[in-house]
Amino acid sequence: MMSGTRSWPATGDLTSWFVPVLIQPNVWLIAEPGHVNSYLVAGAARAVLIDTGTGIAAIAPVARLLTTKPLSVILTHNHFDHIGGAAVFAQVAIHPAGVTGLRAGRSSASLQPYLAETAALFQRGQALQALDADGFNMLHPEQIVRPLPADFVPDKYAIAPVAATATLADGELIDLGGRTLEVIYTPGHSPDGICLLDRAARILFTADTVYAGPLYTQTPGADLVAYQQSLQRLVALVDAVDLLLPGHNRVPLDPLIINEMAAGFSALAAGGTAIETTTEAGLVRRIARFARFSIILPT
């Protein structure tokens, strides 16, 4: 169970696009259920928003409801579902390898396939919710997929170009006042991927490097070898972390999933893992499946 309280949205409200959840004092999950997890982390002096979501709804007002401290953005990588709300912030930092992609923005045409997936996700989510209400009672509000906001216009959905105001180096320390986040460069899922470590609080924000579910290594810029190396680096941190906060799916995770993923990638590299071939919506996928995650491989 998460610590903290679920204070917004109100109990029974399944229309709000964002679902903030207090993880522990001054650390909030801002979920877009079924899509992506962003996080707000506050220190004594200032706060940071770790990723800015899909841009389907504005995340800035939600962050401002949670803190009045000076607020800047840290982007864990430049994939569209993590940068969607970044344009309205005055201070945006990303790894140097993500600067160009962030500046490119995303066109409406390029995002239409995701909106089609979103419609299908909502339908599946309704079926899951009905099953859950019929006795399982396992879903929390931040896990229940929402309909698109009433004022959302699909044909106008685009992500504005953003010029980074700062870049993040491996090992850089971000001082929030009484709380420090350490940048850990973890390419593999993307060339600009980072994780953020709060050593004192024993929290690791893993974005898209570690989460429970299908891991994408088939997308442009993904690198299986780099991913395996990044996981090996994170293995060294497992004993220093109690709470793992990922960019997708279940929150929180126990840090031991890092060991499982590192072993899975190593087995895959050694040729000791069965690979399943499937066809979904006309697309061929090669998948290596493990207990708590899978790896979608290049075709």
Residue 87 has pLDDT above 90, yes or no: yes
In this predicted structure, what is the pLDDT of residue 6?
Answer: 44
Taking residues 72-96, report their average pLDDT: 98
Is there a contact between 72 and 93 (Cβ–Cβ < 8 Å)? Answer: yes
For residue range 101-132, what is the model confidence (pLDDT) as tens digits?
A: 999 999 999 999 999 999 999 999 999 999 99
How many Å apart are CA 53 and CA 79, to the nearest integer? 10
Banded model confidence at residue 202, pLDDT cuts 50, 70, 90: very high
The percent helix, strand, coil of the chain (3-state, each to 5) is 30, 25, 45
- Residue range 132-182, pLDDT digits in tens: 999 999 999 999 999 999 999 999 999 999 999 999 999 999 999 999 999
Separation CA 214–CA 221 (nearest Å): 17
Which pLDDT value is given to residue 50?
99
Cα separation, 130 vs 140, in Å, equals 13
Helix (H) or strand (E) holding 103: helix 99-104
Task: Tell me what pLDDT residue 12 has.
Answer: 58
- What pLDDT, on a 0 to 100 scale, did the predictor assign at position 169? 98
pLDDT at 219 over 60: yes
| pLDDT attached to residue 216 | 96
pLDDT of residue 8: 52
Edge-to-edge strands, sheet with 283-289: 213-216, 293-297, 283-289, 276-280
Report pLDDT for 2. 39
What per-residue confidence (pLDDT) applies to 9? 53
| Sign, Cα dihedral of 68, 202, 252, 182 | positive
- The C-alpha angle 203, 206, 207, rounded to 5 degrees, equals 135
Percent of the chain topping pLDDT 70: 96
**Cα-based distances in Å from 1 to 130, 250, 289:** 22, 11, 26
The predicted model scores a pTM of 0.95
**pLDDT digit string, tens, across residues 15-26:** 799 999 999 999
